[in-house]
């Protein structure tokens, strides 16, 4: 009896396998399903709808339009602040340029008054033939400080110059020193009290230093002799 049962089970299994194989053969032999354009469009539309629903679910409870408005407002504020900053920087730059221009103008005017004019006046007082020329020749020795004070310096080293007494040299002293070293820049005239008179050359000719041409060797000899007679 058990032997018959095993045979029945084997037959049943074989039969099922034959049916499955037959169904598989039938499926393999069937042509692939084709879709019309309308069906494709429908499938795509359904896919988009599912994607939109999924995306909408992510923002569920959020006012998207309000969020966009906030972003636009924030961007506008950033642009406005950048514009204000740019305008402020431009205004600051323009103000600084105007201030610097005004400072430069005032400095130039102060320098002209305390240096250039002062040099010319000092040269005129000391009877320079051409005060403006003397002022130009000694100009490099005068320095205008930021404080507005005038300082006499060595043109080569830039160091402050002092008198024999240890006091800072002033414009009057600078011009006097220059004219003493270069007397041909001084106009001739009646000597003052206590000064040495013009000495004659060979006991006859008076020397007018202002008329000497120092580029002329003969005049330089006359000038050298003149200084000897004055005790220099």
Annotate 78-92 with b (16+ C-beta within 10 A) or e (fewer). eeeeeeeeeeeeeee
More confident of the two residues 130 and 41: 130
Position 72 scores a pLDDT of 84
More confident of the two residues 196 and 104: 104
Q: 3-state DSSP call for residue 168?
A: strand
CB 150 within 8 A of CB 175: no
pLDDT > 70? residue 25: no
pLDDT band at 137 (very low <50, low <70, confident <90, very high): very high
pLDDT > 70? residue 2: no
- Rounded to 5 degrees, what are φ and ψ at 125? -60, -35
How many whole angstroms separate alpha carbon 113 and alpha carbon 231? 37
- Separation of CA 129 from chain center: 46
Position 179 scores a pLDDT of 93
pLDDT band at 160 (very low <50, low <70, confident <90, very high): very high
- Rounded to 5 degrees, what are φ and ψ at 158? 80, 5
pLDDT > 70? residue 19: no
Q: What's the whole-number mean pLDDT along residues 153-182?
A: 91
CB 135 within 8 A of CB 116: yes
Position 151 scores a pLDDT of 93
How many whole angstroms separate alpha carbon 166 and alpha carbon 53? 97
pLDDT > 90? residue 231: no
> Is-above-0.75 flag for pTM?
no
């Amino acid at each position: 009896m058990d032997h018959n049962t095993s045979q029945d089970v084997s037959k049943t299994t074989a039969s099922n396998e034959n049916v499955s194989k037959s169904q598989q053969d039938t499926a393999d032999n069937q042509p692939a399903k084709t879709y019309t354009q309308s069906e494709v469009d429908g499938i795509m539309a359904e896919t988009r709808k599912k994607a939109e629903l999924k995306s909408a679910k992510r923002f569920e409870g959020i006012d998207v339009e309000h969020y966009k408005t906030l972003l636009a407002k924030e961007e506008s504020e950033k642009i406005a602040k950048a514009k204000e900053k740019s305008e402020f920087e431009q205004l600051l730059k323009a103000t600084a340029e105007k201030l610097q221009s005004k400072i430069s103008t005032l400095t130039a005017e102060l320098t002209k008054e305390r240096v250039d004019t002062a040099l010319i006046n000092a040269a005129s007082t000391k009877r320079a033939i051409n005060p403006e020329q003397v002022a130009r020749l000694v100009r490099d020795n005068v320095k205008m400080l930021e404080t507005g004070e005038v300082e006499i310096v060595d043109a080569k080293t830039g160091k402050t110059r002092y008198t024999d007494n240890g006091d800072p040299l002033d414009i009057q002293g600078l011009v006097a020193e220059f004219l003493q070293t270069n007397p041909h820049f001084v106009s001739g005239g009646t000597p003052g009290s206590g000064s040495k008179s013009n000495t004659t050359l060979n006991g006859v000719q008076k020397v007018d230093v202002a008329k000497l041409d120092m580029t002329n060797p003969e005049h330089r000899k006359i000038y050298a002799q003149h200084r000897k007679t004055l005790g220099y």
